[in-house]
Amino acid sequence: MDVRWFLTALRTATFLGLLVLYLQPHWRTEREDVQNSRVLLLVDTSLSMGLIDGDPVDNSAAKSAAKLNRDQQIAAGFKDSDFLTRLRKIHDVTVLQFAKT
């Protein structure tokens, strides 16, 4: 009598083991992967950026900016604002230069 219960339990365990192998369970681990958005900032480095623009409209701010060449005007604009700081808090900023040679 004891042998019958033992063989039945052994057959059931074998059947359950084969069923587990057939279903191929995968134990998963969750990992949150956060990728920041990226911003590409293009900078013109051509010779034209060294030019000083002609007479601006009669405006005192424009007259003071006329003494600066184009790249200095852009640098002053970025220095006066917090645009780049706010942009870097949220995005990965990449700066690339371009010029027509």
Question: Comparing C-alpha atoms, which of 45, 96, 97 is closest to residue 69?
Answer: 45
Around 74, how many Cα atoms within 13 Å sit in the side-chain half-sphere?
A: 13
Residue 25's Cα: distance from chain center in Å? Answer: 35
What is the β-pairing status of strands 92-98 and 38-44? parallel
Residue 25 is predicted with a pLDDT of 75
Residue 10 is predicted with a pLDDT of 95
Residue 47 is predicted with a pLDDT of 80
* pLDDT per residue as tens digits for the range 4-25: 999 999 999 999 999 988 888 7
43 close to 99: Cβ distance less than 8 angstroms? no
DSSP string computed for 62-96: HHHHTTS-HHHHHHHHHHHS-HHHHHHHHSEEEEE
* pLDDT per residue as tens digits for the range 81-91: 898 889 899 89
Considering the entire predicted model, what is its pTM?
0.48
* pLDDT per residue as tens digits for the range 31-70: 888 888 999 988 888 888 877 876 656 555 555 555 888 8
